[in-house]
């Protein structure tokens, strides 16, 4: 049995950076809170909590003046203002998300309608919407894009973790009803490389495993992208979930992992396959 691990698997640049910032803050200040879960991975959140980095779901759960970390997804400027008034804030927003926030604010200031390709309920998108003063429209499919009314001037950005091919189709939908369209490539290079290497592996194996939190949006997109190439693709969160799949009958198993999947889980999955697989 052969295991092929995609080159770009697991923590991305922005998540590694946010985790480093959180541990440095803990070292310096003793008690720190993250404003929302630092990453969408239950096992890693349990580890952070164990190490004394607490999760606050809202501002009321944080003692006045405490040290609070803004996670890599970023937040709206309105929320950030309030957070800074009440606490000592350390900003771990990913630079790629910052770039999207700046583009959104600039395009809306210039009078364009801003279309955002993404998931309205995702924290990154909620934060970006705060920069659009109500002029941002969030859509999630090319069909929705092509059904918009005709406009003379629009700008479009994408959630940083979307698949590039999906974004191209989405932009195609907007071209049907927009006279002058400004397209910004806001998918981060980490996502592009991760999807590219995962798709490459998915085309070479009999079974593809995508490891990551079940509520992690970027892992779900990675799963969808792999599944389009290899129908025999499974999204698992822990090594124990391997027991739900008849994986031992396959000769070549491909593995990739979402941007919020820690190395220790990827390693545990690989070890289980090596230890329990046939020769």
| Chain centre to alpha carbon of residue 202 | 20
Looking at the Cβ atoms of 8 and 113, the one nearer to ligand SF4 is 8
Active-site entry in 8, 80, 124, 237: 124
Rounded to whole angstroms, what are the CA distances from 273 to 78, 222, 242, 243? Answer: 48, 21, 9, 10
Shortest reach from residue 235's CB to ligand SF4, in Å: 17
Nearer to ligand SF4, 184 or 272 (CB): 184
Q: Which is nearer to ligand SF4, 210 or 273 (CB)?
A: 210
- Minimum distance, C-beta of residue 73 to ligand SF4, in the bound complex (Å): 7
Report helix angle 95-109 to 13-29, nearest 10.
110
CA distances to 100, 124, 143, 148 from 158, rounded to whole Å, are: 8, 11, 16, 17
Q: How far is CA 106 from CA 76, 110, 112, 164, 267, in A?
A: 15, 6, 9, 23, 43
Nearer to ligand SF4, 72 or 178 (CB): 72
State the Cα–Cα distance between residues 237 and 174, nearest whole angstrom.
Answer: 36
Q: Which residues bind ligand SF4 (CB under 6 A)?
A: 12-15, 72, 94, 96-97, 160-161, 188, 190-191, 218, 259
CB of 91 to ligand SF4, least distance (A): 13
The tokens for 82 are: 């309030």
Q: Check if the beta carbon of residue 11 is closer than 8 Å to that of residue 19.
A: yes
The residue (of 9 and 161) whose beta carbon lies closer to ligand SF4 is: 161
CB of 246 to ligand SF4, least distance (A): 32
Per-residue tokens: 272 = 């289980």
CB of 240 to ligand SF4, least distance (A): 26
Q: Which H or E run contains 126?
A: helix 123-129
Q: Catalytic annotation on 37? A: no
Residue 156 contacts residue 174 (beta carbons within 8 Å): yes
Task: List active site positions.
Answer: 124
């Amino acid at each position: 049995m052969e295991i092929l691990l995609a080159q770009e698997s697991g923590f991305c640049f922005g998540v590694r950076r946010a985790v480093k910032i959180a541990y440095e803050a803990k070292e310096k200040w003793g008690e720190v809170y993250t404003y929302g879960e630092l990453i969408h991975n239950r096992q890693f959140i349990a580890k952070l909590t164990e190490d004394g980095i607490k999760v606050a779901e809202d501002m009321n759960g944080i003692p006045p003046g405490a040290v609070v970390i803004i996670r890599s997804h970023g937040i709206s400027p309105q929320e950030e203002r309030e957070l800074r008034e009440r606490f000592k804030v350390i900003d771990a927003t990913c630079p790629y998300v910052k770039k999207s926030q700046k583009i959104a604010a600039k395009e809306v200031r210039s009078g364009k309608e801003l279309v955002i390709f993404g998931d309205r309920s995702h924290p990154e998108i909620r934060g970006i919407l705060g920069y659009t003063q109500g002029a941002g429209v969030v859509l999630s499919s090319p069909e929705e894009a092509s059904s918009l009314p005709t406009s003379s001037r629009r700008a479009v950005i994408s959630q940083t973790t979307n698949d590039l091919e999906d974004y191209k189709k989405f932009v195609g939908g907007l071209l049907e009803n927009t006279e002058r369209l400004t397209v910004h490539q806001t998918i981060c290079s980490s996502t592009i490389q991760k999807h590219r290497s995962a798709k490459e592996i998915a085309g070479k194996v009999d079974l593809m495993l995508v490891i990551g939190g079940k509520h992690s949006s970027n892992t779900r997109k990675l799963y969808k992208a792999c599944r389009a190439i290899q129908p025999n693709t499974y999204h698992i969160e822990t090594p124990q979930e391997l027991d739900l799949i008849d994986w031992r009958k396959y000769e070549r198993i491909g593995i990739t992992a979402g941007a919020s999947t820690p190395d220790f889980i990827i390693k545990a999955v690989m070890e289980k396959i090596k230890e329990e697989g046939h020769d």
